[in-house]
Amino acid sequence: MHSGVRLGLYSTRQNGSASDDALAPPMCLFRYGESIRLPVKLKLPRNFRNPGAFDYQSYLAANSIGALASAKAEDVQLLSGFAGNRLELWRTRIHSSIIAKVHALWPAPQDALIDAMVIGEEAFIDRDTRVDFQRFGTYHILVVSGMNVTILAFVVFWTMRRLRLGDIPATLLTILTCVAYAFLTEVGAQVWRATLMSPSFWVRACFIATAAWSTHWERPLSACSYSIRGNSSPPASK
């Protein structure tokens, strides 16, 4: 049985003066496929016992994370070689470019909240903010869920219809956008469940709209046919 570990890195230079922090080198950013070696301290995730609080343990278990780890950033050793697959490498590159754009548009700490709520990236949320959301039972706000897929599908379909696109092309673009969003976020089964349910809904809505359109034009054509038949008799001879 395989299980993942959520790793948090911290720097011991943060306790120095402001001048030391300005001269200190920035923390290294690790990318998908890189191999690292470091000593860590493992601990099991726990929930707060407040009534109705967010079930953090179940959330991590759903994402195949069984332990939490912390380590010093200075102890990380970058090894040579690539581990992983190319498709996931492309996904992480697109994911990283979106994060960079969000951080360029929003200041800290709002950028970390936008990352978590929009694309499910929680790496930039500090511990105090995470604990506050868990304590008050509102941690689900920072979790990408099926509601995000529903909002995205509605916005995309409404925009395509405003651009005078047909029902079938708008439905196909909506489904493709939801699939791409689920692949980009990769936050768990709840997003894929909503994504797989959306095609059945939009296809059914498209068929209903097509049937209503056909019925709308069938009645006037039938009335027109009856009128032509009623007036098609030859004129009476004198």
Question: Which secondary structure element, helix H or strand E, spans residue 42, and what is its range?
Answer: strand 41-43
Q: Is a pLDDT exceeding 80 seen at residue 89?
A: yes
Q: What is the pLDDT of residue 238?
A: 47
Q: What is the pLDDT of residue 145?
A: 77
CA–CA dist 161, 171 (Å, integer): 10
Q: What is the pLDDT of residue 14?
A: 52
Q: Which residue has the higher pLDDT, 101 or 19?
A: 101
Helix, strand, or coil (residue 177): helix
**135-149, 150-164, 206-220: which range is least confident on average?**
206-220
Residue 221 pLDDT level (bands cut at 50, 70, 90): very low
| Domain locations in the chain as residue ranges | 4-142, 146-230
pTM listed for this prediction? 0.58
Mean pLDDT computed over every residue of the chain: 75
Q: What is the pLDDT of residue 63?
A: 74
Q: Which long-range CB contacts under 8 A does 111-115 form with residues at least 24 apart?
A: 113/142
